[in-house]
């Protein structure tokens, strides 16, 4: 039996990447897994059972988890997302910054760990090495699903016509780098380009205030800017259907689900030239741009908005490539945790 941890994500009201991973895996694992919450679960693992978590945790948040890992009868597995709170503490929620070192050390006590990218795997293994931990579990890469909201895959036959639309999906915060995107959009609107820029995502309560304030100010001058704070999958899917390209100027990711989901829906992605994003972008359908290079981003988005041949080529690349699914990710877990 797999006991799947949904302590936080099972009741989360927002659409974070962690919530998405947990929800989609729970759905695809189906009867092979039993959902548990730490405070109410009796933690009665038998020798052949597995405890599986894709959440973030600490002893303070999960009293008894250190002892559980030391004395459990069954085995434990975890999905690791990233070391962003350690690398960017100045723009990460304080609670996450405080929790992350102990969380990453506790992962060394699990029997198996999957990282959501090769870059994240290297970060975790490097952290353990830096900490001098001699006994650590194997860390493999688990390819997350591209299939957005359970929607069928879209392979576009022709580029979307009409007023060009760009779509950026992600929480409003410095890490997602909407400020750079807004800088570029203002330049292009001032040049006279007619296009829409749709931003989708909640606001980071610690760091997102200035970003959303700027969005509101710019939207008064440029009506092509539209912010969708609480769009569901159906609404986001409709925005993708109208988009000529998605834009992902992030400065740090564990995997980069918006890139994969964009390709699943047939929409080319203009993304930051991060190694973690290149793991998926290099397969086709993407235009990778130097991170934080305003001139390069201005040229890239100008091309995405005006160069129909480029967009058509990227759409063809997206349609031709293989993409991972959540069913495949769950199958990997079931095959190993048996």
CB 70 within 8 A of CB 38: no
Which of 55-70 are b and which e, b meaning 16 or more Cβ less than 10 Å from the residue's Cβ? bbbbeebbeebeebbe
Q: Where are the alpha helices (DSSP H) in the chain?
A: 17-29, 65-71, 84-87, 94-106, 118-131, 178-190, 209-221, 233-242, 257-264, 275-281, 294-306, 308-320, 326-336
**All structural domains of the chain with their residue ranges:** 2-145+325-336, 148-320
Phi-psi group of 162: left, alpha or beta (phi > 0 → left; psi -120 to 50 → alpha; rest → beta)? left
Give this prediction's pTM: 0.95
pLDDT tens digits, 148-176? 988 899 998 777 778 999 999 999 999 99
What is d(CA 95, CA 53) in angstroms, rounded to the nearest whole number? 19
Both tokens assigned to 93: 């929620």
pLDDT tens digits, 183-202? 999 999 999 999 999 999 99
The architecture CATH gives domain 2-145+325-336:
3-Layer(aba) Sandwich (3.40)
- Find the range with the poorest average confidence among 18-22, 216-220, 274-278, 296-300: 18-22
- Classify residue 116 by its DSSP letter: S
pLDDT at 151 (0 to 100): 86
pLDDT tens digits, 133-144? 999 999 999 999
What is d(CA 215, CA 28) in angstroms, rounded to the nearest whole number? 37
Please choose, from the candidates 148, 65, 146, the residue with its C-alpha nearest in 3D space to the C-alpha of residue 107: 65
Establish whether domains 2-145+325-336 and 148-320 are of one fold: yes
End-to-end CA distance of the chain: 8
CATH of domain 148-320: 3.40.50.2000
Is pLDDT at 12 greater than 60 in this prediction? Answer: no
Could you give the percent of the chain with pLDDT greater than 90? 91
Q: Where are the alpha helices (DSSP H) in 139-256?
A: 178-190, 209-221, 233-242
Is pLDDT at 14 greater than 70 in this prediction? Answer: no
- Other CB atoms within a 10 A radius of the CB of residue 309 amount to 9
pLDDT at 131 (0 to 100): 97
SS3 167: strand
Is pLDDT at 13 greater than 70 in this prediction? Answer: no
pLDDT at 11 (0 to 100): 61
- Other CB atoms within a 10 A radius of the CB of residue 234 amount to 9
Q: Which helix (H) or strand (E) holds 34?
A: strand 33-36
What is d(CA 77, CA 145) in angstroms, rounded to the nearest whole number? 19
| Pairing label, strands 50-53, 112-115 | unpaired
């Amino acid at each position: 039996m797999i006991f799947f941890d949904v302590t936080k994500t099972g009741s989360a009201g927002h659409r974070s990447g962690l919530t998405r991973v947990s929800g989609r895996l729970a759905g695809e694992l189906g009867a092979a897994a039993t959902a548990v919450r730490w405070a109410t679960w009796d933690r009665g693992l038998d020798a052949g059972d597995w405890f599986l978590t894709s959440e973030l945790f600490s002893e303070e948040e999960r009293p008894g988890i250190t002892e559980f890992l030391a004395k459990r009868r069954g085995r434990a597995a975890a999905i690791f997302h990233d070391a962003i709170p350690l690398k960017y503490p100045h723009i990460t929620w304080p609670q996450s910054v405080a929790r992350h070192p102990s969380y990453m050390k506790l992962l060394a006590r699990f029997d198996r760990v999957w990282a959501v990218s090769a870059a994240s795997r290297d970060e975790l293994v490097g952290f353990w090495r830096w900490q001098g931990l001699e006994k650590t579990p194997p860390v493999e890469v688990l390819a997350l699903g591209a299939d957005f909201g359970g929607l069928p895959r879209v392979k576009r036959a022709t580029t979307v016509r009409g007023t060009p639309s760009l779509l950026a999906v992600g929480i409003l915060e410095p890490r997602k780098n909407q400020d750079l995107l807004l800088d570029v959009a203002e330049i292009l609107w001032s040049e006279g380009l007619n296009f829409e820029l749709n931003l989708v995502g909640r606001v980071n309560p610690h760091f997102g205030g200035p970003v959303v304030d700027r969005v509101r100010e710019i939207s008064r001058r440029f009506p092509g800017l539209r912010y969708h704070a609480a769009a569901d999958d159906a609404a986001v899917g409709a925005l993708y259907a109208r988009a000529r390209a998605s834009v992902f100027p992030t400065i740090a990711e564990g995997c980069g689900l918006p890139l994969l989901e964009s390709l699943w829906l047939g929409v080319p992605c203009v993304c930051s030239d991060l190694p973690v994003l290149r793991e998926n972008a290099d397969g086709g359908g993407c235009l990778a741009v130097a991170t934080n290079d305003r001139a390069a981003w201005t040229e890239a988005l100008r091309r995405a908005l005006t160069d129909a041949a480029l967009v058509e080529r990227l759409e063809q690349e997206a349609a031709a490539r293989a993409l991972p699914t959540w069913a495949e990710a769950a199958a990997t877990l079931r095959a190993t945790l048996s």
